[in-house]
Amino acid sequence: MLKKDKVNFIVTKLDEIYPAVSPPLNHHNNYTLLIAVLLSANTTDKSVNKVTPKLFQKADNPQKMSKLKYETVYNIIKPCGLGPAKAKAIIELSKILVKKYKGKVPNSFSDLESFPGVGHKTASVVMSQAFGVPAFPVDTHVHRLMYRWGLSSGKNVQDTEKQAKRLFPKEKWNKLHLQIIFYGREYCPAKNFNPYNCPITSVVGRRSLFK
């Protein structure tokens, strides 16, 4: 099957399974989205959604967050892992937002990626979900599925992102990356995976998966 045929099949099947998708991280403004995505590094969305209600009750804007003590933030977010680094980054980026951006999250990749604790993937999520800018954030699910479907080399997330952007229509990126994440969790997990039971991989998957 040609890659263009794979892409058409994948888009059609994902729209069929997930006609509407919502961001999995609970938030109520651009700032809380930024913090939630930062917290999601190396942990699950479920873990993040357990701690953010308490954190955002204390501070849901950079002005309040920048005034919290490190220990307060750390003790709340500790279950997410990497607590020391994340707590420090949250407080520091909040101070930067207040001082340099008047408390508003900027709609710029370069500005977002300049913040402590914010990498390209986090910036991509914020740009796509907060501002509607076409982006294709690559998490472990997207990286895994793009390789299994024979659409990327699987070498690294940077290569996967380039391939995804080259293959899929730009106007579909923001919805599609969420659809792939949900699909990966439900049908195409990292462990105990049976390609024959996967509606997409069973059709477009790499032959090596079926050996």
Interval 101-133: pLDDT, tens: 999 999 999 999 999 999 999 999 999 999 999
Residue 34 and residue 112 share a domain: yes
Q: In the prediction, which pLDDT does 155 show?
A: 93
Residue 188 and residue 106 share a domain: no
- CA-CA distance, 106 to 7, in Å (whole number)? 33
Residue 121 and residue 48 share a domain: yes
Cβ atoms of 187 and 200 closer than 8 Å: yes
Q: In the prediction, which pLDDT does 45 show?
A: 96
Residue 206 and residue 157 share a domain: yes
Q: Which domain holds residue 191?
A: 3-21+136-210
Where is the domain boundary, 109, 131, 153? 131
Interval 187-207: pLDDT, tens: 999 999 999 999 999 999 999
Residue 127 and residue 140 share a domain: no
Where is the domain boundary, 106, 131, 156? 131
Residue 16 and residue 90 share a domain: no
Q: In the prediction, which pLDDT does 128 show?
A: 98
In CATH, what number is assigned to the domain containing residue 202?
Answer: 1.10.1670.10
Q: In the prediction, which pLDDT does 67 show?
A: 98
Residue 117 and residue 54 share a domain: yes
pTM: 0.94
Residues 6+ apart with CB under 8 A from 114: none
Q: In the prediction, which pLDDT does 34 show?
A: 98
Residue 119 and residue 174 share a domain: no
Residue 102 and residue 117 share a domain: yes
Q: In the prediction, which pLDDT does 183 show?
A: 98
Where is the domain boundary, 131, 151, 185? 131
Average pLDDT, the chain: 97
What domain count does the chain have?
Answer: 2
Residue 118 and residue 38 share a domain: yes
Interval 131-184: pLDDT, tens: 999 999 999 999 999 999 999 999 999 999 999 999 999 999 999 999 999 999
- CA-CA distance, 83 to 71, in Å (whole number)? 10
* 3-state class (DSSP) for residue 154: coil
pLDDT at 96 over 90: yes
Q: In the prediction, which pLDDT does 184 show?
A: 97
The percentage of residues in the chain with a pLDDT greater than 70, rounded to a whole number, is: 100
Q: In the prediction, which pLDDT does 211 show?
A: 81
Residue 89 and residue 173 share a domain: no
Catalytic residues: 121, 139
Q: In the prediction, which pLDDT does 98 show?
A: 98
Residue 117 and residue 35 share a domain: yes
